[in-house]
Amino acid sequence: MAGLRMTTPRLLVLRALLDDPARERYGLDLATEAGLEPGTIYPILVAFEGAGWLSSREEEIDVHAAGRPRRRYYLLTAAGVTAARAALAKRSAPRVGRLAW
């Protein structure tokens, strides 16, 4: 999984992205769906993009006419879809092993 440690917030973002893998999403939208604070989501998105799991583009709008800042849209890559599904499957799989006692 490209060396990324899977934390609960990262798994929540992956689950939100996998709800519709072909749909571009922007940070605040993802944060809301994942139940995370907006400031938490961006480092996660940067890490996923660095690992090749996401591609991104900046929206082309007239910010004055739109009355809001430009958004950066994120989309799962094919490798990202595979990695996200594997990460979520691994987390939900029952842990089998020896007891510590």
Q: Which amino acid is at 66?
A: A
CATH class of 8-92: mainly alpha
Q: Which amino acid is at 81?
A: V
Spatial contact of 69 and 63, defined as CB atoms under 8 Å apart: yes
DSSP 24: -
Mind listing the pLDDT tens digit for each residue in 64-86?
Answer: 999 999 999 999 999 999 999 99
**Which residues of the chain fall below pLDDT 70?**
1-2, 93-101
> CB count, 10 Å around CB of 79?
13
Question: Can you give the pTM of this predicted structure?
Answer: 0.83
Q: What is the pLDDT of residue 1?
A: 44
Tokens of 37: 């604070």
Element (H, E) at 58: strand 54-58
Domain range summary for the chain, segments of one domain joined by +: 8-92
